[in-house]
Structure 1
């Protein structure tokens, strides 16, 4: 599980251009933000995405509760969530939803976080584009996230590290 900030500040990617011709990329910079919360199962490729206007403890708790409901976490179905050590990754006083257990990665170790590799996939839909409003960004991003949720093989290719512990059948 991880979060990613997206906004009106453009994401630029290299593109091909004819030799000798200048390349221009229109931008509409702004300081409005949207946050993508993503969960991915590296082995199965299952993924869930939420687009949220803030990143804080309350949003984290709400998304974690929604995730627990979506995957059916409970007394009979335990789910291990790997997350970074962000300061807002704090469960409410009564703990995480039943069936959810978290493992926090060491500080400054994004290379260990499978969900960190999802951002290259989500950003494809908005890279090198200028948006007039955060709502336009949200629409483009939501379409991409819905598409990604239906691409388990692609998610596995990007998140299943060679050292990831696989479930025994």
Structure 2
């Protein structure tokens, strides 16, 4: 049995501003774009295995969620079953339209409780270290930045485990 956490984040030209180091008394500059192009980073992590599965997609709906569930399913240990915890976004509850693979069970978190989902902390880490204070010229630049950020996260041994482990959420058999 594996415990996976799932969420999605919108990354785009509007961007986010984060803290940066600057000389005391100075006012650091950070670029900000006013255009409206974005991509959705669907991500899921398994802290116990220190691994994750992600897709960068141009939309967030039931079809995108089906693609992401299939990607998570491919990353579950062969012969294991995964419980995927996720929030109550509309595309997570499409009235039987989700195609949940046989090796996955979905468990919805309580409404309005993002603090329970450690993937929110993953997004915060990626924004602080990879995705903030920059301008994307094209949609492909957004996709490339999301892919690079996720690949850097998963290539860093112990990073997912350190960010996403919750002592109150573990599986013991």
TM-score tier (shorter): 0.7 to 0.9
Could you say if the C-alpha distance between residues 95 and 129 of structure 1 is closer, same or farther in structure 2, counting changes exceeding 3 Å? Answer: closer
- Structure 1's 94 and 38: CA in aligned 2 closer, same or farther, altered over 3 A? closer
Select which of 43, 68, 77 maps to 1:63. 68
How many Å apart are 1:111 and its aligned residue?
0.9
* Partner residue, 1:78: 81
Match 2:58 to one of 31, 49, 53: 53
**1:46–1:152 contact (8 Å) kept in structure 2:** no
Aligned to 1:23: 28
Q: TM-score, normalised by structure 2?
A: 0.86
* Maintained 8 Å contact 2:16/2:133: yes
The TM-score normalised by the length of structure 1 is 0.88
The 3-state SS of whatever aligns with 1:34 is strand
Change (3 A) 1:66 1:144: same
| Secondary structure of residue in 2 paired with 1:103 | strand
64-73 vs 80-89, which moves further: 64-73
Specify the alignment match of 1:116 in structure 2.
120
Distance between the aligned counterparts of 1:161 and 1:14, measured in 2? 26
Report the aligned-residue RMSD. 2.0
Separation in structure 2 between the aligned mates of residue 66 and residue 13 of structure 1, nearest angstrom: 30
Q: What are the Cα deviations for residues 14-71 of structure 1, in whole angstroms up to 9, with x where unaligned?
A: 2222244442222222111111111111222111221111100111011111221232
Distance 1:115 1:94 in 2: 21
Aligned residues: 166
Unaligned runs of 5+ in 2: 1-5
* Contact in 1 for aligned 2:38/2:142 (Cα 8 Å): no
Instruction: Choose from 77, 83, 90 the match for 1:87.
Output: 90
Report the Cα distance in structure 2 between the residues aligned to 1:135 and 1:93, rounded to whole angstroms: 30
**1:7 aligned residue:** 12
Distance in 2 of aligned mates of 1:134 and 1:66: 22
